[in-house]
């Protein structure tokens, strides 16, 4: 079955760090552009970061640039998001999503909740 499963969310204090994982099955992450998209409670969708199929190019939203790092492990077929210097406004459900040619997302995980609070 083709699916994405996120994990690693939880409660973290402001200024802390967290690493999210997204395990893919039924396809390879290295063959696709992969993104993280987040949704704060009761709010809309916000794109966070993307990594290209080659793995050598990454882009970030201005709101997370310099604090978050996207990466992947092809041997584990897993996408990651390292989040440092977390702020309250980073609290959200984080989804990983597969991108297809045309800059849209055809497959989404169920998401993992990150709460930044003291």
Partner 1 sequence: QSVLTQPPSVSGAPGQRVTISCTGSSSNIGAGYDVHWYQQLPGTAPKLLIYGNSNRPSGVPDRFSGSKSGTSASLAITGLQAEDEADYYCQSYDSSLSYVFGTGTKVTVL
Residues that bind partner 1 (CB under 8 A): 35, 37, 44-47, 50, 59, 61, 63, 95, 100, 102-106, 108-111
CB atoms within 10 A of CB 82: 14
Shortest Å distance, C-beta 83 to partner 1: 18
Contacts of residue 73, defined as CB under 8 A and 6 or more positions apart, other chains included, come to 80
3-state secondary structure (DSSP) of residue 59: strand
Shortest Å distance, C-beta 84 to partner 1: 20
Nearer to partner 1, 73 or 106 (CB): 106
Shortest Å distance, C-beta 102 to partner 1: 6
Nearer to partner 1, 104 or 118 (CB): 104
Nearer to partner 1, 62 or 118 (CB): 62
Shortest Å distance, C-beta 29 to partner 1: 18
Q: Rounded to whole angstroms, how far apart are CA atoms 87 and 29?
A: 29
Gyration radius of the chain's alpha carbons: 13
Cα separations in angstroms, 81 against 1, 68, 86: 23, 7, 12
Nearer to partner 1, 16 or 88 (CB): 88
β-strands 3-7, 112-116 pairing:
unpaired
């Amino acid at each position: 079955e083709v699916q994405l499963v996120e994990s690693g969310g939880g409660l973290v204090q402001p200024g802390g760090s967290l690493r999210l994982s997204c395990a893919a099955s039924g396809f390879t992450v290295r063959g696709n552009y992969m993104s993280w998209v987040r949704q704060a409670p009761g709010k809309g969708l916000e794109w966070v970061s993307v990594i290209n199929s080659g793995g050598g190019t990454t882009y970030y939203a201005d709101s997370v640039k310099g604090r978050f790092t996207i990466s992947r492990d092809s041997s584990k077929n897993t996408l990651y998001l390292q989040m440092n210097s977390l702020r309250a406004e980073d609290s959200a459900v984080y989804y990983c999503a597969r991108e297809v040619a045309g800059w849209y997302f055809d497959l989404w995980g169920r998401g993992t909740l990150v709460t930044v609070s003291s």
